[in-house]
Structure 1
């Protein structure tokens, strides 16, 4: 007698679907890479001294005259690379959290992680520590926020929606602490701290990029290595346990990787909103169900979105000098409201 799982698609029918999803993901990845290359060229070509795009692209690789190479590599490339790396880290962190908690509202900025990273980095800035220590401070702040979230959620017996609400409260409390520190700063530090806490890649140096960006690269590698465990968790805890997976350990590993990614990304760009929340939704809408390919596409889309937002903040808005966080927050606030309304509606329908 043949054993058939009710509702399961035959292998012959499922294989073409997987192939179509893979082709769509590959096509979107190629398009995303082309768009990212174009944005990088625009970013390094524009500034107080505009450069021809071809000369700027050559200067990025150390070719051309020495003045062009200096301007591109020392002043413009660090900001561009910081936006790319931070965007990728935030987007992958958001994809991991949304998939782990099975909730579209789960993201580092909503759950307080980026606020905690901001708190740690500003505290380190107030102490006058070296820029090399900024990623460690941001990571410590992100872990602090995660601990606070776990404590308050455990005490309230939180479901996933309650977890998000507690995260918003943690984010607000840590933001208030950061604002207090900024107010108490000496005048020469207050301006830079305030700009950083709104989300900005202005003035990033290669020291910051290599220290935080290197950590993001390692965490991204670990995230892709854990994707198979995440796919098993998608089957449910009972099925995952039957397959031999320690579900609690796997969840803690994935959660820790997401916190590291978000915290180190915040060390580069500040607590940038919207990227981690919205990019996974857009990728699922365009590419389909989550796979290792769509996880990579999320990182690429996050890099494109944050770099494009930085260019908008620099050149397309009537007010000059706005940090990139203003652009992403303007987009993110209505998106978060729509998601919360949809989440509330789905909960009400399930209760009925």
Structure 2
């Protein structure tokens, strides 16, 4: 009786922690947003920036906020939330802590699609569509390879790493053959950058991302059932293959939309879900919301760091996230390769 009584208490504590983490992320987002709108070559107060965002005040300040700072802020929020959510879904779907869009080839496919658009001379406006198509292509290739080989789902991450390596090689080959004036813009985009984002790009990605998030929450119950294992999910009436494929496409679409406006930013999708699990406990709908908020917070904070705290002018935000994420990946590998893992060999 006492054991049964402790379970609701533990679950309640985890839910409270998840709500607290989400609230802290919202507070951090509010603070970072104020800094993003007020800081730069033209500094302004929070009140002035807010009025300028609404179209009031000095025309020059209105132009700076509405055309430069606000779209970049919105792009960071949309891309960070999309990457972190996609990473959380993939890690649960593949039951592997290393599963993420940047490890498994999805952002590599987005890079290839975007670079092909640039190589064809189609212009920057079609670049998000190319990135989205490339990301979905990589997800489809991953799913087909896994299904064709009959590989265990937990080992599909290795296939994804191979797909990512091949796509990265293709991107480098295309960039090397670029005219010099296009190679610079391609390299900046493939490094992961929020520079020069426009409202049409951000609005389109945000609306599409909202639709994908709705589709994800509709499928969330199936994701929770898949956590029980394939046999248990099948016994409960879930078509495991179909559910897994739909969730893979949904997560890939989220990651590709994020890459479409920010480039293939590394490690946000890998690190944030782990942090949320450490802070908030077992995965629930609330922790998924907290993961999205934490991803937006991390990417916006990294972008502010790249813009204002580092001495290198014009540094891409992807360089900052990679610098943060590389030690985190090493910790994960060392932890998974520790004594407990050696005993299972």
TM range (shorter): over 0.9
* Structure 1 residue corresponding to 2:223, chosen from 227, 230, 236: 230
Deviation at 1:58, TM superposition (A): 2.7
Compared CA separation, residues 52 and 241, structure 1 to 2 (3 A): same
State the Cα deviation string for residues 277-320 of structure 1 (Å, max 9, x = none).
00000000001100000000000000000010011111111211
Deviation at 1:150, TM superposition (A): 3.9
> How do 1:1-352 residues align onto structure 2 when only pairs under 5 Å count?
10=4, 12-153=5-146, 158-159=151-152, 162-345=155-338, 346-351=340-345
Q: Which moved more, 1:309-318 or 1:87-96?
A: 309-318
Query: In structure 1, how many angstroms separate the alpha carbons of the residues matched to 2:231 and 2:160?
Result: 28
Deviation at 1:100, TM superposition (A): 0.8
> What is the TM-score when the length of structure 2 is the normalising length?
0.93
Cα contact 1:135–1:211 (8 A) shared by 2 = no
Cα contact 1:120–1:141 (8 A) shared by 2 = yes
Compared CA separation, residues 9 and 68, structure 1 to 2 (3 A): farther
Deviation at 1:143, TM superposition (A): 2.4
Deviation at 1:57, TM superposition (A): 2.5
Cα contact 2:264–2:318 (8 A) shared by 1 = yes
State the Cα deviation string for residues 245-267 of structure 1 (Å, max 9, x = none).
22221111111100000111001
> What is the TM-score when the length of structure 1 is the normalising length?
0.92
Query: In structure 1, how many angstroms separate the alpha carbons of the residues matched to 2:3 and 2:236?
Result: 20
Query: In structure 2, how many angstroms separate the alpha carbons of the residues matched to 1:27 and 1:63?
Result: 35
5+ residue gaps, structure 2, are none
**C-alpha RMSD of the superposition:** 2.0
Query: In structure 1, how many angstroms separate the alpha carbons of the residues matched to 2:337 and 2:273?
Result: 20
Aligned length: 344
5+ residue gaps, structure 1, are none
